[in-house]
Copies of this chain bind each other. A is one copy, B any other.
Amino acid sequence: MAPSPRDAKPELKVLMNETAEAVNRTMDRLLPAAEMAEDRLYAAMRHGVLGGGKRLRPFLAIHCANLFNVDTNRSRRVAAAIEFVHCYSLIHDDLPAMDDAALRRGHPTVHRAFDEATAILAGDTLLTLAFEILSDPETHPDPYVRCELVKSLAQAAGGHGMAGGQMLDIIGETQEFDLGTISRMQRMKTGKLMAFACESGAILGKASEPHRRALCNYAHDLGLAFQVTDDILDVESDPQDTGKDSGKDAAAGKSTFVSTMGKSEALQRAKMLIKQSSAHLKIFEGRAEILKDLAEYVLARRA
């Protein structure tokens, strides 16, 4: 069950739920329950992936691809690959050696529901599966497109992207970061995969360079705003809403936007970023309203 995006306006809420359900079906199909002894691995992957989630990155991938009339079977496969990478990062981030989280999306984390070794392998396998999906001709008949998807995802998820950002996040527990470093960390940790989600739509649609750049700029501002609001939610939210523990960043001594600039300035910053993100979409001449609505939702969300 996908959590209801209750802070979204009604039309967006319907579309978010529909998109999440479509991607959930694709992911379900791509993660068959195995029948052999290693079944446990697939059960853990399914636990880490199919237990809910707003499917924000799949939403971006599919609705950016829609701007270029991409076949939805293709964009859903890419959306699933991106969500697999996102979920692998959550599974590994939740491990005792990292955030040591007990809950995720209101369910026990994978290492709690299974065990640590299985959680490590489930994350590894989801990451690997993402690249298998992108390189498959079913994702796109043109191998140039498939290679570009693989390379861009690897760059977004690797040492100069998500994984590097996670390393910085861990270093930030024992070292105080200035605002520039926090922004850089968040761009790597969250921004690059969100940017790839948007960019993947442009890659699938063989979009012009200006269209592609517009989506990347939108995604960068949106990703940063998402992280600022995440930091705000971490200090003020109800675990019942977010499905995870509150105040964990502060308890871990992490530098966040809120700890560095204070809550009210952080909120101002998020508003400014959302406005800026929507401004990049002007080039689509009113055809990207759904992406603007999503940006507004990111600002308004309570979970």
Q: Give A contacts to B, CB under 8 Å.
A: 34, 37-38, 40-42, 45, 88, 92, 95, 97-98, 115-118, 120-121, 123-125, 127-129, 131-132, 134-137, 143-144, 146-148, 150-151, 153-155, 157-159, 163-168, 170-171, 175, 181, 188
Contact = CB atoms under 8 A, between A and B. Distances in A.
A191 to B, nearest CB: 15
B154 A143 contact: no
Contact of A143 (B117, B125, B146, B181): B146
Contact of A121 (B40, B143, B163, B175): B163
Given A38-B167, A88-B124, A131-B150, 20 more contacts: A37-B181, A38-B168, A40-B171, A41-B167, A42-B159, A97-B120, A121-B163, A124-B124, A125-B164, A128-B159, A128-B163, A131-B153, A132-B151, A135-B150, A135-B151, A136-B151, A146-B147, A147-B147, A147-B150, A150-B150
Given A97-B120, A147-B146, A154 B167 contact: no
Contact of A164 (B41, B165, B175): B41
Nearest to A45: B159
Contacts of A153: 131
Given A135-B147, A146-B143, A38 B164 contact: yes
A171 B120 CA distance: 14
B98 A159 contact: no
A255 to B, nearest CB: 12
Nearest to A99: B117
A135 B121 CA distance: 24
16 contacts: A37-B175, A37-B181, A41-B159, A88-B124, A92-B124, A120-B120, A124-B124, A124-B163, A125-B164, A128-B154, A131-B153, A132-B154, A132-B158, A135-B150, A143-B146, A147-B147
